[in-house]
Chains A and B, each alone.
Chain A
Amino acid sequence: MNGLIYAFLAIGAAFNALGAVALIRFPDVYTRIHGATKCTTFGSLFSILAVAVYGIVQGGGAGGTMAVRAFLALVFLLLTNPTGSHALARAAHRSGIKPFRAVVDRLEEAGHGPRATDHGPRETR
């Protein structure tokens, strides 16, 4: 069981590192959301699974509580993370940020693009 825990911890750390690097290296907001959301969700999933396995191995009241709470944290992350990133992507598009070197932008064509009277916060690039 210890081998399993070490493997989960290593996978989790590796993919979280990849998420942080993707956040630095990608060229615009949307690609950054891609990298950061996918990689940190996957990495955190394995980190938290390692803790859940550790709790089950320990057993008893304390270990069981740890496993159950870790599992609940996992479920919440898996449900809330993609929804939050979806909201951020839509907000970025509506606040007027163009996708970097996009070959096609159907969302702007459909009239859901930035509004004419925009009161949102703007920073010039």
Chain B
Amino acid sequence: MRRVAEWTTTALLVFALYLVFSAFSGRWGLWAPDELLAGAVIALLVGLATGPLVWKRGGWRLLQPQRWLLFLVYLVGPFLYAMAKANLDVAWRVITGRINPGIVRFNPNLQTDVGRTFLANSITLTPGTLTMDVDDATGDFFVHWINVKDASPTADAVCGPFPRWARRVAE
């Protein structure tokens, strides 16, 4: 039963993605019939092949709509601001050449794979930090920090409010 639910949800998600991809292919901005048929066949195959892989370890929680809303708020709010700041930071370091790098370790207390991926990608795109490795068993993050202020920092010292956002959106 669980297997069938995994297959159908994945197939439906892939079909939705295909609908986005092939919009405006038919008359009046709708879809052409052959595109719909091809999309259905492809979605079924992909769902059968990858269904059990997608929903491992707490992935079901991502289907709640309020998390998508939070994710959008996060993208246009704190994330875009941090990304712009990161780029100005890199510009400053390219011009002055002033760096003080090191690899630090901290534990943000995230349990699920989705939450860890979310935080790792956020860290890589925000000021002065680059995720290098994640310990699967303990959840420790190893981060290359371009301006080390503290050799054993807390999670908040390295990446600010992002662990809290990761917990809200993905856990």
Contacts and interface: CB of A to CB of B under 8 A. Distances in A.
On whether A and B touch (CB less than 8 Å), the answer reads: yes
B125 interface: yes
A4 to B, nearest CB: 16
A112 B133 contact: yes
B21 A72 contact: yes
Interface stretch (B46-54, B57-65, B85-93): B85-93
Interface in B79-125: 83-84, 86-87, 90-91, 93-94, 97, 99-105, 117, 120-121, 124-125
A104 B144 CA distance: 10
Interface residues of A, number: 43
B165 to A, nearest CB: 16
Interface residues of B, number: 39
Contacts of A108: 103
Nearest to A41: B125
A112 B142 contact: yes
A3 to B, nearest CB: 20
Given A82-B121, A103-B151, A112-B133, A38 B87 contact: yes
Interface of A: 15, 18, 21-22, 25-27, 30-31, 33-35, 37-39, 41-42, 61, 64-65, 68-69, 72, 79, 82-83, 85-86, 89-90, 93, 99-108, 110, 112
